Structure 1
Amino acid sequence: MKRFSILILTALFLIPLCLQGRDQVRAEEIIVLIDNGQPVDFRDVEIVGILDFTGVDDRRLVRDSRSFWGFLNQGSRVYECRVRVPVRFIDCVFQDDVLAYYNDRNRDVLNVVFYENVTFEGCRFMGKAHFKYVKFLRNAEFANTSYRDEALFKYTEFSGPVDFSRSRFEGEANFKYVKFPNAARFEDAVFRREANFKFATVDTDADFRNAEFRGEANFKYTKFFGSAFFNGGSFYRLANFKYTKFSEKPDFDETEFAGSTDFKYTKVQGRTWKHFR
């Protein structure tokens, strides 16, 4: 009986430990690491609070248009917020927004520049993920990530290869006007809402093999200067390739088009799409 009681007490002690889950890190602690010049490296932790990279101390004014528009009380100041250390998150959960861009209505605009490699591998973004206008001067790794809200990468500048393979986008995935100077990997990605790559440019290979587009796939005016792989993919709504330009013949082998398609004015190697159907 005594032994049985000890087992019960031990089990009751262990239950709270099991329920605690992963360790928690406050978002502001990460900004402190960056300000102190220390690498950011976390695995299997939960980030609590809004992680705002525009809050770093290292910033400089890059443009001030207030002087010209001052008499109208308009214009803005644009700041560059510089993150000079490697940033690495593996299998982490971000409970709140992750922000690397800020605009307070034509006053101050804050854009983040990452000088070293940035990794968000296997992470879950429970809030917004805003990387609009961000500059990644080295590699950017977002493989196997999931986004519950909007994933905003509009006007983002990448310098190295970009990996979003096996990622899941529950909200809009906005890559409008993005320039991919190296390989862009989106194979096995799932887009539950609109996947917006309008006006994007891919200088080398674009890999969308086995990708699933549940909302509109918007590749209008997109330019592919390398190989473009869509084989094995699924388009459940509008597959919009209007005005898209392919420098090489794209691969649509075993691709499912369950919704409507628009290849009007699409060009492949300088010729209209109908020559390659």
Structure 2
Amino acid sequence: MTFSNSFIDRAIILLICFTLVVSCASSQHAEGDNVISASQLISAIANGEPVAYRDVTIEGDLDFTTLQTTQLTPNNFVSTASVPLYFERCTFKGRVVAFVHHGDTAVSTRFLGSVSFNNCRFQADVDFRGAAFQHHLYLNQSLFDKQVQLQAVRVGGDLRLEKAVFSSDLYAQEAVIQGTFWGKEANILGQFSLQQADFWQNAVFSAIDIQGYADFGLAQFRRSAFFEYGKFHGRLNYSGAIFRYRAEWTKARFEQAADFQNAWFSFKPVFDEVDYRAGIDLSNVRFDGGEPEKNPQ
């Protein structure tokens, strides 16, 4: 069987057109429009559509508590986001909310898929208090203009905020991170609170820079904790913290008083070449693996 040149030319043109249509259709969701509304995102999530956007501005408050809710107790409800969420180089103009409290009634959010905000900017408050993330939560290289609240979150996978910049306070008291915590080179201009946080795997704070008060009091580190090259400009609190494996502050800098009172170290901690500007309080500390060799600079 033979085909004429005109038939072959038409077939090639049709193939090119089909390829372009498929390409546009597949990239439309990934790239999205330049500006979309937060209500559009909530509608997509409610319809079970995976959310993936790049280089998009989101207008309005992104309120995950407006998804369908389930009543847990007479005064407590949980909303559920059942699809993965992925954002890259996106700007959020309004608040990002996963917790609301009206009188005696509270609504928190459960995320069944991974949640990823990579290299994004948040121009308003971020409130994830009490949220449950079944998989990972990524905030890498993102810029937060206002306060970020992660109190009592539970993360089933990794929590990553490497090279993220927090222009205000970051609160994560009583957070439970079942995967690895990655905070390498994060910069926090306000207060950083991890009081009573529970780290199930390695916790990496290498080269973190905290301008305000840093509170790790009563935190539990079930695996290794790394704070080497960290810069702590405000008061530093580790009182009552539990370190079950290796803990290291090599070449860290403490510009104000560092309080380790009543902490417990199962292994010998490492404080090599630490710059103690205002001293370190190790009173009533329990060293099961041997006391550290402090080398103030």
- Alignment TM-score > 0.5, same fold: yes
Q: Is the 8 A contact 2:192 2:214 kept in 1?
A: yes
What's the counterpart of residue 183 of structure 2?
A: 186
- Write out aligned runs for 1:231-270 (5 A): 231-269=228-266
- Report deviation, 1:118: 0.8
- Report deviation, 1:36: 1.4
Select between 29-38 and 264-273 the one with higher mean Cα deviation: 264-273
**Secondary structure of the structure 1 residue equivalent to 2:179:** coil
- Report deviation, 1:105: 2.1
**Secondary structure of the structure 1 residue equivalent to 2:291:** helix
What's the counterpart of residue 89 of structure 1?
A: 87
What's the counterpart of residue 100 of structure 1?
A: 98
Partner Cα separation in structure 2 for residue 83 and residue 267 of structure 1: 39
Partner Cα separation in structure 1 for residue 266 and residue 168 of structure 2: 34
Partner Cα separation in structure 1 for residue 58 and residue 192 of structure 2: 27
**Secondary structure of the structure 1 residue equivalent to 2:129:** coil
Select between 123-132 and 138-147 the one with higher mean Cα deviation: 138-147
Partner Cα separation in structure 1 for residue 66 and residue 137 of structure 2: 21
Residue 59 of structure 1 aligns with an amino acid whose one-letter code is T
What's the counterpart of residue 143 of structure 1?
A: 140
Q: Which runs of 4+ in 1 moved over 4 A?
A: none
Residue 114 of structure 1 aligns with an amino acid whose one-letter code is F
Partner Cα separation in structure 2 for residue 120 and residue 138 of structure 1: 14
Match of 2:107 among 100, 106, 110: 110
- Report deviation, 1:259: 1.4
- Report deviation, 1:180: 1.1
1:175 aligns with 2:172: yes
- Report deviation, 1:249: 3.2
- Report deviation, 1:176: 0.1
Match of 1:45 among 39, 52, 56: 56
Partner Cα separation in structure 2 for residue 202 and residue 247 of structure 1: 11
Residue 86 of structure 1 aligns with an amino acid whose one-letter code is P
Partner Cα separation in structure 1 for residue 163 and residue 37 of structure 2: 27
Partner Cα separation in structure 1 for residue 136 and residue 179 of structure 2: 10
- Report deviation, 1:85: 0.9
- Report deviation, 1:245: 1.1
**Secondary structure of the structure 2 residue equivalent to 1:30:** helix
Deviations 1:160-208 (A, max 9, x none): 1111111111111001000111100000001111100000011110000
Match of 1:62 among 47, 62, 72: 72
Deviations 1:229-265 (A, max 9, x none): 1001101111111111111231111101111111111
Q: Is the 8 A contact 2:223 2:246 kept in 1?
A: no
- Write out aligned runs for 1:209-220 (5 A): 209-220=206-217
- Report deviation, 1:133: 0.5
What's the counterpart of residue 160 of structure 2?
A: 163
Partner Cα separation in structure 2 for residue 178 and residue 60 of structure 1: 22
What's the counterpart of residue 77 of structure 2?
A: 79
Q: Is the 8 A contact 2:137 2:158 kept in 1?
A: yes
1:31 aligns with 2:45: no
**Secondary structure of the structure 2 residue equivalent to 1:221:** coil
**Secondary structure of the structure 2 residue equivalent to 1:275:** coil
Residue 152 of structure 1 aligns with an amino acid whose one-letter code is Q
Structure 2 unaligned regions, length at least 5 = 1-32, 268-284
Residue 201 of structure 1 aligns with an amino acid whose one-letter code is D
**Secondary structure of the structure 1 residue equivalent to 2:40:** helix
Residue 221 of structure 2 aligns with an amino acid whose one-letter code is F
**Secondary structure of the structure 1 residue equivalent to 2:43:** helix
TM-score by length of 2: 0.79
- Report deviation, 1:158: 0.5
Higher RCO (CA-CA < 8 Å; seq separation 6+): 1
The structure with the largest alpha-carbon Rg is 2
Query: Aligned-pair RMSD on alpha carbons?
Result: 1.4
- Report deviation, 1:112: 0.6
What's the counterpart of residue 20 of structure 2?
A: none
- Report deviation, 1:272: 2.3
1:275 aligns with 2:291: yes
